A and B are shown apart, each in its own frame.
Chain A
Amino acid sequence: MEISPFFFFLFAGLAIVFALMVVLLKNPVSSAFSLVLMFFSFAGIYAMLDAHLIAALQILVYAGAIMVLFVFVIMLLNADVPTLDFGKRGTLLRWLSAAATLSGLVIFSKAFVTNSVFGLEGTHTSEKIAQVGGNTQAISQLMFSDYMLPFELTSVLLLAAIVSAVTIAKRKRDHNDPNNQGSAL
């Protein structure tokens, strides 16, 4: 694929470093902000792969909406005290998890190296996309023709998510317990 190796390895290295920071840092707030930076690195890679709409959505939805939600909940719960939460579970289990994930990575990369191309070629070559008027235009035309039903179902899903999030997070009033009335949570 015709992408610049320098920028790809720059963004990929940054993304791996920030992903490791998400997993290894003790403070949830530090994890959240490392995750934001990892989302930005991913947006750079998406832009290099000619997925401009996805790159913009990555920043708007992930780095904008989802991360604000995460940071807001961390602040709301006041749970941002550093917790060394690898501690109690035991080193053996931790090393077993590391070995399992590493072997999974080895299997996947082996599969990717040996069968580099598998699948049917589609019709959306870069010339055709440029002829239609760019990546966003081509995706929109597909979305409102072939992918109309999933697109509409997405709105139902979002409505269900809104209703369930409000219902789950709503504070239940306990009238028998006078101590419970005033607390914020």
Chain B
Amino acid sequence: MMTSTVEPWVVLTFSAAIFFIGLFGVLVRRNVLVILMCVELMLNAVNLTFVTFSKQLHDLGGQLSVFFIITVAAAESAVGLGLVISMFRTLRTVDTDDIRLLKE
């Protein structure tokens, strides 16, 4: 039977699922660009957790935290992609397994 509400733990578990999908991507993928995208996935999952608690506890501080997280995510991806460009210029690759300058 369908009820007219969604329990908070359903939303929280959903955001945890997205977070761990992103974490799995960070652990498994080797393309630096895809790893950065998976970090964005994890940040989004955390944002959804903040918004859910903000709604559940009637406090807008959670949504303000999301605002700041979005700003930090934008800064992080700008600097991260700059690093990727710099890395591609010296190593001609975006594969994490080929970054072994200290090992050689």
Contacts and interface: CB of A to CB of B under 8 A. Distances in A.
Interface in B41-68: 41, 44, 47-48, 51-61, 63-64, 66-68
Interface of A: 1-6, 8, 12, 15-16, 19-20, 22-23, 28, 31-32, 35, 38-39, 42, 45-46, 49-51, 53-54, 57-58, 61-62, 65-66, 69-70, 73-74, 76-77, 79, 83, 85-86, 88-89, 94, 97-98, 100-102, 104-105, 108-109, 112-113, 116-117, 119-126, 129, 135, 138-139, 142-143, 147, 150, 154, 157-158, 160-162, 164-166, 168-169, 171, 185
A70 B84 CA distance: 11
A19 B21 contact: yes
A79 B19 CA distance: 26
Interface residues of B, number: 75
A116 B8 CA distance: 7
B7 interface: yes
Contacts, number: 255
Contact of B58 (A85, A97, A121): A121
Given A1-B6, A76-B85, A97-B24, A16 B60 contact: no
Closest CB pairs A-B (n = 6): A122-B59, A161-B75, A23-B25, A169-B82, A168-B82, A108-B16
A77 B84 contact: yes
Nearest to B21: A19
Interface majority SS on B: helix, strand, loop or mixed?
A: helix
A97 B81 contact: no
Contacts of B30: 83, 85-86, 88-89
Contacts of B9: 109, 112-113, 116
Contact of A1 (B11, B60, B70, B74): B11
A77 B34 contact: no
Interface majority SS on A: helix, strand, loop or mixed?
A: helix
A94 B13 contact: no
B64 A19 contact: no
Contact of B78 (A113, A117, A143, A162): A162
B78 A165 contact: yes
Contact of A66 (B23, B74, B94): B74
